[in-house]
Amino acid sequence: MAPVGSIKEAIMSGLVKNRAVLGLEIGKNYTRLAILKKTKHDKEAVFLENIYTKEMSDTEKISAISGSLKKSNYKAEEVILIIPSNLVMTKTLQIPSVKENEIRDILNLQAGRHTPYSREELVLDYVVLGRVQDIYTKILVVMAARDIINSRIAMLESSGLKVSKVLFLPEGISRMASELFKPDAGKAPKILLNVGTESSDFNIFSATGLMFTRNIPVDQNQFLDNKDKALEKLAEELKRSMELYNTEEIAERPDEIYISCNANVWLEIENPIREAFTLEVKRFFINDYISVPDTEKEIFRDKNEQFTALLSSLAVYDKFLMDLMPEDTKEHRRFEAKAKKFIVIGILAMVIFLQICLALLFKIYYTQKYLDMIDAKFKEEIKKAEHLQLISDRTRVVNDFLSGKNTPLQVIVSLYDILPDDIYLQSIAIDKDKSVFVKGTSESVSRIFEIVTSLEENPLYKGVKTEFTESRKKEGKNIADFGITMVIEEDGK
């Protein structure tokens, strides 16, 4: 028998094999699509598409997304919506509780104080950064306008896509970096700078994932327009980001910087950043960890930095700690899942019921066929048996008749053997119920009782008794008349 562990691994391997997830990163002026196929030992980006949507209406965006999906010719099992950092607000807060339900309740009450929106207009989630004095909890809160999230979900649903999660882009790329570079727990965290097409993200991550994030209004296009101004702006924003991080007192100073950007930007910022922070600077290539088929290599080679954050998020989407899906939508999804589950259970129950009914019908049908076969097979034998039974019944009647005819003869023979010479019989009567009445004359009464005794000892008779005795004289001698009754034994025939 195979070990339980190996069976479990085989099952999980079968579930993971060829599992694909579709991710859509929807910014202000662009939409990126990527389909990532996850196997047990590999991750492969089987489809990549970048759509410029600045001049498009919502209808045109829906049409463009639908057209791209048709072109992909690949069906994904899950659809993930990725929200970039320039569409959300982040805040590091210290909550006076260590219980998760209380933290969320307090956060719901205070959320409106940190944004221009009311709580009802916000979608939020958080990650725990640590405990303070065992009575406070430091958290990183991510907040987004509900309209922004709902409009993107509605647009994707109009394209035939059902969103299962809404994830925060900096958490995805930071968690991917955490898994790849494995910073030691409790040691110095790392910086991850992601220079994007609309803005950049200054992220700090540790062994547990994202700890701090700040959106920087500097993008890679600014380096093409005016690299000196862009570099100056980037240096200023990085310095301010580090000051904010230090002010929050989240953890110790980072000891390394990883940068995700295109080749031109890398050439411009590598040395200035190394000199400004006096830290080791490394470039983060997602194509070192995710394979790309030949059909997608051209777009990935030209624009791999644009897909780094998206593909990173898809690679670890099941390990996110935050989900920006609105609660009412989550509840609706849960209701749909339960309804679907009940429908499936109902269908299975109906199928099982029909199978049982069919099994019973087949059993009845084949049982009847078997009985018909037996009946046909033994029909002749039954007729023969009935004929033999008829012969047996007739034989029994004849035997009973013959037995009845022999009864008087048996009685006469037995009386002849029993009665002495001085006893004279006057009559013998035998009834249908086989009762016998013997009437006769004896020279003495004592001889009569001897006869009765002899009859009682004879196995042919039972219930022998004297009915009467009468003494009289004949020719000067004393004689006695008598009457005896008895019943013939069945076994004495």
Q: What does the domain layout of the chain look like in residue ranges?
A: 19-325, 406-492
Residue 184: DSSP 8-state: P
Q: Band the pLDDT of 14: cuts 50, 70, 90.
A: very low
Structure tokens at 29: 């002026």
Q: Where are the alpha helices (DSSP H) in 51-144?
A: 58-72, 100-110
CB 33 within 8 A of CB 69: yes
Q: Across all residues in the chain, what is the average pLDDT?
A: 85
* CA-closest candidate to residue 446, choices 480, 413, 419, 396: 480
Q: Which residue has the higher pLDDT, 301 or 345?
A: 345
Highest mean pLDDT among 6-15, 17-26, 115-124, 198-207: 198-207
Detail the DSSP E strand segments found in 4-109: 19-26, 30-38, 43-52, 78-83, 88-95
Whole-number Cα distances in Å, 404 to 23, 458, 490, 493 = 108, 19, 11, 9
Long-range Cβ pairs for the range 49-54 (8 Å, 24+) = 49/299, 50/299, 50/303, 50/306, 50/307, 53/29, 54/28, 54/29, 54/30
Q: 406-492 — its CATH code?
A: 3.30.1360.100
Q: Nearest-CA neighbor of 215 among 89, 111, 40, 128?
A: 89
Report CA dihedral (71, 76, 78, 81) to the nearest 10 degrees. -20
Residue at token pair 């569409």? 87
Express each pLDDT in 128-186 by its tens digit. 998 888 889 999 999 999 999 999 999 999 988 999 999 999 999 999 999 888 888 77
Amino acid at position 158, single letter: S
Is the per-residue pLDDT at 100 higher than 50?
yes
DSSP H or E segment with residue 187 = none
* 486 contacts: CB under 8 Å, gap ≥ 6: 435, 436, 438, 455, 461, 462, 463, 464, 465
Whole-angstrom Cα distance, residue 385 to residue 393?
12
Token digits for 142? Answer: 């991510």
Architecture field, domain 19-325: 2-Layer Sandwich (3.30)
Long-range pairs, 351-357, Cβ under 8 A, ≥24: none
Residue whose structure tokens are 């020719």: 475
Q: Where are the alpha helices (DSSP H) in 249-326?
A: 263-277, 297-315
Distance CA(34)–CA(376), nearest Å, equals: 72
Question: Is the Cα dihedral 154, 156, 157, 162 positive or negative?
Answer: negative
- Confidence at residue 304, expressed as pLDDT on a 0 to 100 scale: 59
Looking at residue 8, its pLDDT comes to 40
**Pick the residue with more confidence: 328 or 16?**
328
C-beta of residue 64 within 8 angstroms of C-beta of residue 51: yes
Q: Angle at CA 466, nearest 5°, toward 461 and 468? A: 145
Name residue, tokens 């898809």.
Answer: 314
Reported pTM = 0.67
pLDDT at 478: 82
Residue 10 has pLDDT above 60, yes or no: no
